[in-house]
């Protein structure tokens, strides 16, 4: 309840002191923040009779001076501009401004400048800058989430923007909880380190007065990890209710949009799945698919009984009772039809995409199993016609992540097969993923095969057997949290920021995953919180991922990296073109070293590669034949950006 | 839950900036009064006094300066007419709530055992119930008046006000019916108990008395007992009549309330559904406004292409042509 109640308290405080009819004006981010914790009927109780977005309200010119305006915005420069325009032509009687994060002095100055008519009554900072989707799970819902994958030099301004938003969100969470934490981050991730240091700077130096709360015996812990430490969890198919709905259909701000998957009656096109408002969902959100089916059947039976008793109305008392119970009856009816619709749709999707079959192999790949059996299984599924492209891609990625170092020949075979089978597959995506989240880039022991204790544990688990093959995977986060509970989080892997050290175990831990969280991880958090371990965990991320979103982020990052690499390469190639003979014809390098020369204009990137005397032209429009080359381990960051097929070429080029 | 109040800093900046702006504005003043004061005002501002003093002097300038409208003083302008309707309904709701409390007390009093026949109590309860039902009915009728048409922002405000009042009314009517049903139940229980007790009394006494007394006495006693039992039955009948009349009134009010509830349920939002989400409502407003715009544009276009305009212009041209022909005919012949 902690996060939801914090945001609700803020909204209550905003509205309670202002009497009379009010209008609430939000921006596109704060509307999500408020919608997940406050309902329209509650707003009406507080006499807020109009809710608007700030960009649409600037278009209309009606003057409604009998209303008082309450603005709740993020302190971005865009919003400040809108505010200035509105303050110079005020439409409402009074203006109360609330900002969801810290304002800079210049921004206050700008606002004061435009408030010529003195309509602003108060300007406050209420730190509700995060979307509290579940009691212990928050997200920042960043639209351009993929920047965490790219190194800093590719797009520094956007990356700075990304980091700023993350730091603001984390700062707001701690201000809402009134704590100042000790910060640790994942060693191998640059962006985690950067966010950790900037957060420390904010909390301990820049705004240390604001963060100076009463010290408890144990400060809470903020742990910043990178999504790339555990790329397996977002790729898996899920079988527990909330995670499954998000994976197959998609949940946004606790709303599910069913219009994309079929035709529905008007009131079932969009539904709300919130554990606060729906008791059935709260009881079942972490149950697996089979149990949900049984619980829904029970709910439908109960409802049918109630409906039947409403049918035979004979006496006046019956009529009176019916009219009494009618609102509850209607609510129950709506709830039942919502859950039945969701489960039906999901069953349909599972049937179509043969997800039971695919998921079995996925879980094998993620948890246990030998390499040979896995290869067989993945091969068979790739040959199967009814498996969709995205499922094939996920299988190959999971296989590549697990067996990256063993038998590269088989890996190549799988890549070839994938490229030939899937028409829309962009080449190099799996390799890109391996480069970003390969075994050398990860902190922590994703597959439990790095230290002896984990291997032993895995063997024990294999011998014991699992109760459900489809839900046997535990995300890496679970292990991290367990080591925190035992007080054994290694300093080597997760160093501290600054010179704060902590002996013993913290009472509250906030884990922030740069790149996004998944509902499977929030389920582990909820389960650990329910077991009385004495520590309260809160999970947050820059977005909530499912496999589609994760793959989209990878693709976008790859696209940006590629364009950047090409423009970079073009610069280098122009320079080299001057260095060749005046004729510009490709030089036969000494000792058969290959050279690259550009042939055509900027539009089509066509390169001629001379490899050991033989000329082979490779153009970007055709799928590249995968040469029998080993993927080299490259240290230089520039070379990381290029595709593996160019690896050999470019390495020698830069020598 | 941390928060930070920036109002002080904001006011400081605002006043400082107003000071920087005011001298320029007063120099371009229109009225003589301002011109007279403009000599004084800059002197106060440039005094460089503390924040408190400068604040006071700025307020003086602001109320005199015609450039700044006196919005600081009269911030809330005159509300539109429908606000009065909503306030009226709100007062009805308040009154109804007060009466409900009274009704509760009257119910409790009527249920207590009393020596009188309790007719006044019944009448009191009836009156109160009728009044409350009337208030609810009147509020509901006025509520219908609040509905507005057109996609303006004002209509959204009206719709939301309507929704909130509808929720209040529905809650009140449900409360009323619950009170009535509990009262009825208790009343029925009491009557049954009373009748049981009386039956027992009637049944026991004859047995005891018959054996002990002689015939004459018996006769007299029997007559007296008969009269007593008659009185009892009369009493019982009256009570039954009262109870049935109460039941009838209750039935009537149940019917009325059911009607009201049906009308209101259209207006009231169900909790927990998608309609109860703020972002859904914002999107819908946006789409309906856009739809309205599209419809208007379409209507404009069809109007322009309308046959009416064509016909009228054709007819006018024909008139001119005929006129010219007429003139030519006159000239030639």
Of A460 and A263, the one with more pLDDT: A263
> What is the phi/psi pair of residue B305, to 5°?
-80, 5
Q: Are residues A119 and A180 in the same domain?
A: no
What pLDDT was estimated at residue B289? 67
| Residue to test with chain B: of A27, A89, A323, most B Cβ within 10 A | A323
Of A502 and B315, the one with more pLDDT: B315
A232 part of a folded domain: no
Of A401 and B214, the one with more pLDDT: A401
Contact between B6 and A117 using a beta-carbon 8 Å cutoff: no
Contact between B72 and A21 using a beta-carbon 8 Å cutoff: no
Specify whether the CB–CB gap between B232 and B198 falls below 8 A. Answer: yes
CB-closest option in A109, A272, A277 to B13: A109
What share of chain A has pLDDT > 70, as a percent?
A: 83
Q: Are residues A464 and A480 in the same domain?
A: no
Structure tokens at A197: 């240091």
Residue numbers in A near B80 (CB within 8 A): 66
What pLDDT was estimated at residue A275? 87
Q: How confident is the model at residue A644 (pLDDT cuts 50, 70, 90)?
A: very low
A652 part of a folded domain: no
Domain boundary among A101, A129, A157: A129
Domain boundary among A453, A470, A487: A470
Contact between A123 and B10 using a beta-carbon 8 Å cutoff: yes
- State the CATH number of the domain containing residue A83: 3.40.50.2060
Q: Are residues A492 and A464 in the same domain?
A: no
| Residue to test with chain A: of B272, B275, B282, B293, most A Cβ within 10 A | B272
Q: How confident is the model at residue B285 (pLDDT cuts 50, 70, 90)?
A: low
A89 close contact with B: CB closer than 8 A: no
What pLDDT was estimated at residue B35? 44
Q: Residue A263 pLDDT > 90, yes or no?
A: no
Q: Are residues A486 and A388 in the same domain?
A: no
What pLDDT was estimated at residue B25? 55
Q: Are residues A161 and A101 in the same domain?
A: no
State how far the Cα of A331 lies from the Cα of B271, in Å rounded to an integer: 8
Specify whether the CB–CB gap between A540 and A510 falls below 8 A. Answer: yes
- State the CATH number of the domain containing residue A289: 3.90.830.10
| Residue to test with chain B: of A15, A50, A73, A173, most B Cβ within 10 A | A50
B181 close contact with A: CB closer than 8 A: yes
Q: Are residues A250 and A209 in the same domain?
A: no
Q: Are residues A448 and A484 in the same domain?
A: no
What pLDDT was estimated at residue A633? 41
**Closest chain A residue by Cα to residue B251:** A316
A294 part of a folded domain: yes
A–B interface: beta-carbon pairs under 8 A: 211
Q: Residue A200 pLDDT > 70, yes or no?
A: yes
Q: Are residues A184 and A286 in the same domain?
A: no
A236 part of a folded domain: no
What pLDDT was estimated at residue A578? 60
CB-closest option in A51, A108, A116 to B278: A51
Half-sphere exposure of B219 toward its Cβ, with a 13 Å CA cutoff? 2
Q: How confident is the model at residue A570 (pLDDT cuts 50, 70, 90)?
A: confident
The total number of structural domains that make up chain A: 5
Q: Residue A184 pLDDT > 90, yes or no?
A: yes
CB-closest option in A66, A176, A213 to B79: A66
DSSP letters, A277-298, are: T-HHHHHHTTSBHHHHHHHHHH
> What is the phi/psi pair of residue A154, to 5°?
-70, -50
Contact between B157 and A21 using a beta-carbon 8 Å cutoff: yes
The 10s digit of each residue's pLDDT in A114-135 is: 888 888 999 999 999 999 999 9
> What is the phi/psi pair of residue A140, to 5°?
-105, -10
What's the mean pLDDT in B182-211? 66
What share of chain B has pLDDT > 90, as a percent?
A: 7
A409 close contact with B: CB closer than 8 A: no
For helices B7-27 and A105-114, give the axis angle rounded to 10 degrees.
40
Q: Residue A168 pLDDT > 60, yes or no?
A: yes
Q: Residue A525 pLDDT > 80, yes or no?
A: yes
Structure tokens at A500: 């704060």
pTM: 0.74
A188 part of a folded domain: yes
Contact between A327 and B265 using a beta-carbon 8 Å cutoff: yes
Q: How confident is the model at residue A32 (pLDDT cuts 50, 70, 90)?
A: very high
What pLDDT was estimated at residue A462? 65
B274 close contact with A: CB closer than 8 A: yes
Q: Is A550 helix (H, G, I), strand (E, B) or coil?
A: helix
Residue A305: CB atoms within 10 Å = 10
Q: Residue B131 pLDDT > 80, yes or no?
A: yes
What pLDDT was estimated at residue B148? 59
Contact between B269 and A41 using a beta-carbon 8 Å cutoff: yes
Lowest mean pLDDT among A153-162, A233-242, A399-408, B246-255: B246-255
- State the CATH number of the domain containing residue A166: 3.40.50.1910
Q: Are residues A139 and A183 in the same domain?
A: yes
A265 part of a folded domain: yes
Q: How far is B237 from chain A (nearest CA, A)?
A: 22
Task: Identify the sign of the CA torsion A264, A269, A274, A279.
Answer: negative
Of A417 and B250, the one with more pLDDT: A417
What's the mean pLDDT in B259-283? 74
Q: Residue A540 pLDDT > 90, yes or no?
A: yes
Domain boundary among A112, A129, A146: A129
What's the mean pLDDT in B296-309? 81
DSSP letters, A23-92, are: EEEE-HHHHHHHHTT--HHHHHHTTEEEEEEHHHHTT----EEEEEEEEEE---HHHHHHHHHHHHS--E
CA Rg, chain B, in Å?
A: 39
- State the CATH number of the domain containing residue A417: 1.25.40
DSSP class of A612: T
Q: Which of A546, A598, A545, A535 is nearest to A572 (CA)?
A: A598
Q: Are residues A245 and A206 in the same domain?
A: no
Q: Which of A419, A430, A409, A417 is nearest to A381 (CA)?
A: A417
What pLDDT was estimated at residue A563? 85
Of A315 and A576, the one with more pLDDT: A315
67-126 of B, contacting A, C-beta below 8 A:
68-69, 71-72, 75-80, 83
The 10s digit of each residue's pLDDT in A355-395 is: 998 998 888 888 877 788 888 888 888 888 888 888 888 98
Q: Are residues A274 and A170 in the same domain?
A: no
What pLDDT was estimated at residue B62? 35
Lowest mean pLDDT among A168-172, A195-199, A504-508: A504-508
The 10s digit of each residue's pLDDT in B21-64 is: 776 555 444 444 444 444 444 433 343 334 444 333 333 333 33
A318 close contact with B: CB closer than 8 A: no
Domain enclosing residue A605, as ranges: 550-642
How far apart, in Å, are the Cα atoms of A284 and each of A294, A299, A309, A466? 11, 12, 27, 21
What pLDDT was estimated at residue A131? 94
What pLDDT was estimated at residue A225? 94
A448 part of a folded domain: yes
The 10s digit of each residue's pLDDT in A579-629 is: 544 444 444 434 444 444 444 333 344 433 343 444 444 444 444 444 443
Residue numbers in B near A65 (CB within 8 A): 75-78
Specify whether the CB–CB gap between A389 and A424 falls below 8 A. Answer: yes
Structure tokens at A621: 């429009």
Q: Are residues A124 and A188 in the same domain?
A: no
B154 close contact with A: CB closer than 8 A: yes
Q: Residue B117 pLDDT > 80, yes or no?
A: no
**H and E: helices and strands count for chain B:** 10, 1
What's the mean pLDDT in B177-187? 81
Q: Residue A104 pLDDT > 80, yes or no?
A: yes
The 10s digit of each residue's pLDDT in A461-510 is: 666 666 777 888 889 999 899 989 888 888 888 999 887 777 778 889 99
B280 close contact with A: CB closer than 8 A: yes
Q: Kindly report the length of chain B.
A: 333
Contact between A118 and B62 using a beta-carbon 8 Å cutoff: yes
The 10s digit of each residue's pLDDT in B154-180 is: 777 888 888 888 888 888 888 887 888
Q: Which of A277, A272, A252 is nearest to A342 (CA)?
A: A272
State how far the Cα of B65 lies from the Cα of B68, in Å rounded to an integer: 6
Q: Which of A414, A432, A410 is nearest to A422 (CA)?
A: A414
1-30 of B, contacting A, C-beta below 8 A:
1-7, 9-14, 16-18, 21
What pLDDT was estimated at residue A342? 92
CB-closest option in A39, A62, A327 to B277: A39
A494 close contact with B: CB closer than 8 A: no
Of A484 and B116, the one with more pLDDT: A484
A653 part of a folded domain: no
Contact between B278 and A105 using a beta-carbon 8 Å cutoff: no
State how far the Cα of A475 lies from the Cα of A151, in Å rounded to an integer: 26
**What's chain A's average pLDDT?**
81
What pLDDT was estimated at residue B153? 66
Contact between B75 and A272 using a beta-carbon 8 Å cutoff: no
What pLDDT was estimated at residue A191? 92
CB-closest option in B80, B258, B279 to A253: B279
Q: Residue A207 pLDDT > 70, yes or no?
A: yes
């Amino acid at each position: 309840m902690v996060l939801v109640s914090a945001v609700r308290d803020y909204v209550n405080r905003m509205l309670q002191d202002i009497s009379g009819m009010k209008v609430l004006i939000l921006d596109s981010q704060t509307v999500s923040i408020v919608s997940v914790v406050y309902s329209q009927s509650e707003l009406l109780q507080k006499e807020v009779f109009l809710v608007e977005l700030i960009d649409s309200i600037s278009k209309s010119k009606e003057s409604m001076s009998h209303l008082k305006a309450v603005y709740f915005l993020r302190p971005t420069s865009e919003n400040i501009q809108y505010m200035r325009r509105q303050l110079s032509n005020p439409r409402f009687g009074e203006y109360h401004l609330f900002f969801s994060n810290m304002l800079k002095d210049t921004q206050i100055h700008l606002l004061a400048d435009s408030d010529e008519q003195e309509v602003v009554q108060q300007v406050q900072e209420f730190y509700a800058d995060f979307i509290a989707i579940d009691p212990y799970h928050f997200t920042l819902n960043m639209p351009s989430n993929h920047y965490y994958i790219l190194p800093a030099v590719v797009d520094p301004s956007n990356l700075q923007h990304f980091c700023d938003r993350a730091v603001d969100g984390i700062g707001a969470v701690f201000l809402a909880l009134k704590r100042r934490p000790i910060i640790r981050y994942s060693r191998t991730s640059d962006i985690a380190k950067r966010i950790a240091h900037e957060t420390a700077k904010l909390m301990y130096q820049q705004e240390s007065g604001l963060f100076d709360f009463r010290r408890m015996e144990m400060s809470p812990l903020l742990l910043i990890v990178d999504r790339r430490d555990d790329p397996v969890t977002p790729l898996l198919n899920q079988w527990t209710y909330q995670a499954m709905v998000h994976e197959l259909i998609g949940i946004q701000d606790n709303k599910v949009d069913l219009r994309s998957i079929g035709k529905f009656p008007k009131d079932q096109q969009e539904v709300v799945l919130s554990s606060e408002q729906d008791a059935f969902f709260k009881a079942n959100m972490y149950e697996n698919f089979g149990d949900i089916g049984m619980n829904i059947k029970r709910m439908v039976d109960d409802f049918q009984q109630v409906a039947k008793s409403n049918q035979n109305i004979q006496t006046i008392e019956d009529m009176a009772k019916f009219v009494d119970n009618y609102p509850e009856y209607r609510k129950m009816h709506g709830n039942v039809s919502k859950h039945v619709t969701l489960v039906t749709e999901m069953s349909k999707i599972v049937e179509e995409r043969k997800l039971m079959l695919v998921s079995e192999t996925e879980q094998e790949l993620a948890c246990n199993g030998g390499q040979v059996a896995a290869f067989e299984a993945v091969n068979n599924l790739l040959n199967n016609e009814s498996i969709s492209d995205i499922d094939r891609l996920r299988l190959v990625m999971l296989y590549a992540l697990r067996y990256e170092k063993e038998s590269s020949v088989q890996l190549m075979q799988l890549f070839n097969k994938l490229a030939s089978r899937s028409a829309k597959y962009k080449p190099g995506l799996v390799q890109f993923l391996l480069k970003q989240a390969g075994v050398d880039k990860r902190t922590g022991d994703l597959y439990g095969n790095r230290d002896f204790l984990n291997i032993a544990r895995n063997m024990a688990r294999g011998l014991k057997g699992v109760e459900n093959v489809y839900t046997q995977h535990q995300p890496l986060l679970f292990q991290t949290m367990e080591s925190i509970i035992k007080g054994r989080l290694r300093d080597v892997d997760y160093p501290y920021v600054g010179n704060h050290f902590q002996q013993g175990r913290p009472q509250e831990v906030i884990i922030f995953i740069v790149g996004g969280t998944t509902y499977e991880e929030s389920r582990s958090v909820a389960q650990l919180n329910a077991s009385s371990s004495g520590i309260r965990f809160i999970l947050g991320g820059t977005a909530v991922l499912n496999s589609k979103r994760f793959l989209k982020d990878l693709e976008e990052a790859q696209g940006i990296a590629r364009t950047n690499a090409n423009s970079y390469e073009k610069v280098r190639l122009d320079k080299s073109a001057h260095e060749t003979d005046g004729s510009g014809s490709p030089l036969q390098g000494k000792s058969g070293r290959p050279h690259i020369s550009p042939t055509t204009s900027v539009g089509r990137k066509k390169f001629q590669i001379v490899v050991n005397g033989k000329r082979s032209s490779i153009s970007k429009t055709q799928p590249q034949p995968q040469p029998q080359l080993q993927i080299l381990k490259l240290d230089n960051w520039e070379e990381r950006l290029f595709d593996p097929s160019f690896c050999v070429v470019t390495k020698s080029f830069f020598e | 839950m941390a928060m930070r109040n920036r109002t002080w800093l904001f006011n400081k900046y605002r006043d400082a900036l107003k000071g920087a702006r005011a001298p320029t504005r007063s120099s371009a003043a229109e009225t003589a009064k301002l011109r007279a004061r403009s000599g004084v005002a800059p002197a106060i501002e440039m005094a460089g006094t503390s924040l408190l003093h400068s604040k006071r002097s700025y307020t003086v300038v602001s109320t005199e300066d015609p450039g700044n409208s006196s919005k600081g003083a009269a911030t809330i302008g005159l509300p539109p007419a429908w606000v009065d309707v909503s306030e009226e309904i709100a007062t009805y709701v308040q009154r109804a709530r007060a009466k409900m409390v009274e009704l509760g007390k009257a119910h409790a009093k009527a249920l207590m055992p009393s020596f009188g026949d309790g007719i006044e109590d019944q009448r009191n309860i009836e009156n109160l119930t009728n009044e409350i039902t009337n208030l609810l009915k009147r509020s509901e009728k006025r509520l219908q008046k609040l509905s507005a048409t057109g996609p303006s922002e004002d209509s959204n405000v009206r719709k939301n006000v309507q929704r909130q009042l509808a929720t209040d009314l529905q809650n009140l009517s449900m409360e009323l019916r619950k009170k009535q049903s509990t009262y009825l139940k208790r009343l029925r229980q009491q009557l049954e108990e009373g009748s049981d007790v009386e039956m027992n009394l009637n049944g026991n006494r004859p047995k005891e008395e018959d054996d002990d007394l002689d015939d004459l006495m018996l006769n007299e006693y029997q007559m007296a007992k008969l009269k007593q039992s008659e009185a009892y039955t009369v009493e019982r009948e009256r009570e039954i009549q009262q109870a049935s009349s109460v039941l009838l009134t209750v039935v009537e009010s149940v019917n009325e309330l059911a009607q009201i509830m049906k009308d209101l349920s259209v207006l009231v939002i169900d909790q927990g559904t998608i309609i109860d989400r703020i972002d859904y409502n914002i999107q819908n407003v946006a789409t309906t406004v856009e739809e309205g715009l599209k419809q208007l544009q379409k209507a404009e276009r069809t109007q322009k292409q309308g046959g009416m305009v064509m016909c009228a212009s054709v007819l006018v041209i024909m008139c001119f042509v005929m006129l010219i022909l007429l003139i030519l005919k006159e000239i030639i012949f």
